[in-house]
Amino acid sequence: MSGSPLPQRFGLDAARIRMPAEGPWATLREHLHDRLSRVDDERIDDVLRSGGYVDDDGVPLGLDAPFVAGQRIWFHRDLPDEPQVPFEIGILHADERIVVVDKPHFLATIPRGQHIRQTVLVKVREQLGLPELAPAHRLDRATAGVLMFTTGRRWRGSYQNVFRDRLAHKTYLALAPIRDDLVLPVVVRSNIVKERGVIQAHQRVDLPPNSESLVELIEPVPAIGSQAGPALGLYRITPHTGRTHQIRLHLLLLGIPIVNDQLYPELTDTGRDDFSTPLQLLAESLSFTDPIDGTDRRFVSRRRLDSAHERPGRRTGQ
């Protein structure tokens, strides 16, 4: 974070808050007790005693520090308890400008909510010692596969624009039921709406399409032994847009929801430490023309949908 007097901790930038222009508080402590309503007053006092709040010069602010209108203070947020995700992040490529990883299931791309240290960004920052690492695009926590980061601020805009301007070509693999009456390949177009604070996205049939995906069946996946369940297929999906949960929704619209999808068609509540049924969706490949030197870039996941014979609800390790 630019201007922070505190170094990163666990690959995370320090937080910053600015004091109001005026107020009734005589001390910083009084203001923080009012402002940080989700934090126990005793915890705020503990951080003040330990010098965890600092000013722009890095000078610790104690219990008796006065309230200073407009002052900026810096601190590291308390981190939630998180179950350890038991899968490794693969490094597909790393150079001066970009890092491309092979993301496992169950790791979010960036810190958010209850997933902070157990995220790809934080782990790779620590692993490679790259404090300015930032995502050029994102994958859902449930989706595995190719994910690209930029190494520093000077490169960030150029590579993010590749995705913003739809200049990146991406393919995905998914395991889903086979419908004998479904004619493939097929292009799915729909209007997808994702509302803030709502976990599931949904389709609006009264609005023109804002999303498009090409869906192809690669091959059927034979059942093992006497295993019950619908016949499954391995599908390749080529999205031409990048709406939230687009592939999951488009396969659902075709009547072939992805195996182990805990959001579609219905929200399934599982424990945060349950890693037994990964969503069978993989970001298989990413290719684009490098915006800096004009070279052709292509990266392919080394992962496989190796639980490809799972049926929904069957619990096996990844």
What's 163's DSSP letter? H
- Output 77 or 272, whichever has higher pLDDT: 77
pLDDT of residue 114: 81
Instruction: Report d(CA 250, CA 182) in Å as an integer.
Output: 13
Q: Give the chain's end-to-end CA distance (angstroms, integer).
A: 36
* Among the ranges given (19-33, 51-65, 267-281), the one the predictor scored with the smallest mean pLDDT: 267-281
The pLDDT tens digits for 75-101 are 999 988 899 999 999 999 999 999 999
pLDDT mean over 146-172: 97
Mean pLDDT of the chain: 91
The pLDDT tens digits for 213-255 are 999 999 998 765 445 667 899 999 999 999 999 999 999 999 9
Helix (H, G, I), strand (E, B) or coil at 33: helix
* Among the ranges given (181-185, 196-200, 242-246, 309-313), the one the predictor scored with the smallest mean pLDDT: 309-313
Task: Indicate the pLDDT class of residue 7, thresholds 50, 70 and 90.
Answer: very high
Q: Sign of the C-alpha dihedral, residues 57, 58, 59, 63?
A: positive
pLDDT of residue 237: 98
Q: Measuring CA to CA, how many Å separate 50 from each of 36, 45, 60, 67?
A: 18, 9, 8, 18
140 is catalytic: yes
pLDDT of residue 228: 60
Out of 41, 81, 95, 140, the active site residue is: 140
- Output 2 or 160, whichever has higher pLDDT: 160
Type of residue at 50: S
